[in-house]
Amino acid sequence: MSEFEYLRYVQLGLYLPTGSWIHRLDSRARMLAAFCLLAGITAATRLEGLLLGLIVVLLLLAAGRIPLRYALRSLIPPLPFLLLLVVLQVLFPPRGNSGEVLLHFWRIWITTGGIEAGLALLLRFSGLILTLSLASYCLSTSELIRGTESLLRPLAKAGVPTQDLVMMVQVMLRFLPFLAQSAERIAKAQASRGASWGTRSGGPISRVRQAFPLLVPLFLNGLRRAEALALAMEARGYGNRARHTSMIELHFRFKDGLAILGGVLLGAAVIFF
């Protein structure tokens, strides 16, 4: 039943071990290159640069052997919100960038500047979401933790609790698929007891009201799981301040430096294109 398949829409935190050349890079190189590309897409102001960034991300998905249809699923959950923002940008264009008036109806002005602003917003958010999904597909949780600890090591020498920050990121990434699975089980249990799940009847308000009975048990399950995780971590000595070591050592190679340089150049090209 497609109405209950929440997990397929949670792309963040899912790892696809395809064995591509991107997966074989050092985890720190993958993280830094992804950060440069994210920074370029965020700072880009021209439609050409944003379109270039989106094309680069799609090519990287193909290079990472990630199925395009699978990657595009990450755009489905925020798509209604993105389309609403695009409509607002078109109907209420930013001041100083109105451009030529295409349509005037009552107090609504549709201009070329508003359409460009809406397209820029759609391209920017699509590029950012796909870049984050690409980083998630090519970085396992253990690689992400080891790479983040290595990159934050200078801050640890200054007294910043970097291990606690990294642990928070790890727990967050592992909880996202768990919450989706819990929502599936709760929705199926409520539907088997007569709840009107998957009936698409009624307006948006009734559909939002329909989701309220799902939130309370989902919140309680999350609290129970968090409490059990906290007790397990405390029993295994995560409360002490001794520095943890890693069984796997990271080795930076020449191709990793090329990957970081490529990320910097691509980010700069997206900004100045």
112 vs 118, which has greater pLDDT? 118
Q: What is the pLDDT of residue 195?
A: 65
For 151, counting Cβ atoms within 10 Å of its Cβ (0-12 exposed, 13-18 middle, 19+ buried), the class is: middle
> Which tokens is 105 given?
């109806």
Q: What is the pLDDT of residue 59?
A: 94
- pLDDT tens-place string over residues 195-245: 666 555 555 566 666 667 777 888 888 888 888 888 887 787 766 555 666
Residues 24-30, mean pLDDT to the nearest whole number: 90
- pLDDT tens-place string over residues 150-192: 888 777 777 777 777 777 777 777 777 777 778 778 877 777 7
Most confident of 90-99, 152-161, 194-203, 262-271: 262-271
Q: What is the pLDDT of residue 187?
A: 77
pTM above 0.85, yes or no: no
Whether residue 94 contacts residue 117, with contact meaning beta carbons closer than 8 Å, is answered with yes
Task: Please determine, for residue 269, whether its predicted confidence score (pLDDT) is greater than 90.
Answer: yes
Q: What is the pLDDT of residue 198?
A: 55
Q: What is the pLDDT of residue 223?
A: 84
Res. 18 pLDDT band, cuts 50 70 90: confident
* Phi, psi for residue 201 in degrees, rounded to 5: -90, 150
Q: What is the pLDDT of residue 16?
A: 83
Please compute, for residue 31, the number of CA atoms within 13 A of its CA located in the half-sphere on the CB side. Answer: 17
Q: Work out the angle between the directed axes of helices 27-43 and 141-151 (0-180°, nearest 10).
A: 80
26 vs 171, which has greater pLDDT? 26
> Which tokens is 142 given?
């253990």
C-beta atoms surrounding 263 within 10 Å: 24
Q: What is the pLDDT of residue 75?
A: 83
Residues 57-71, mean pLDDT to the nearest whole number: 90
Residue carrying structure tokens 């052997």: 65
Res. 1 pLDDT band, cuts 50 70 90: very low
Q: What is the pLDDT of residue 106?
A: 67
Q: What is the pLDDT of residue 54?
A: 92
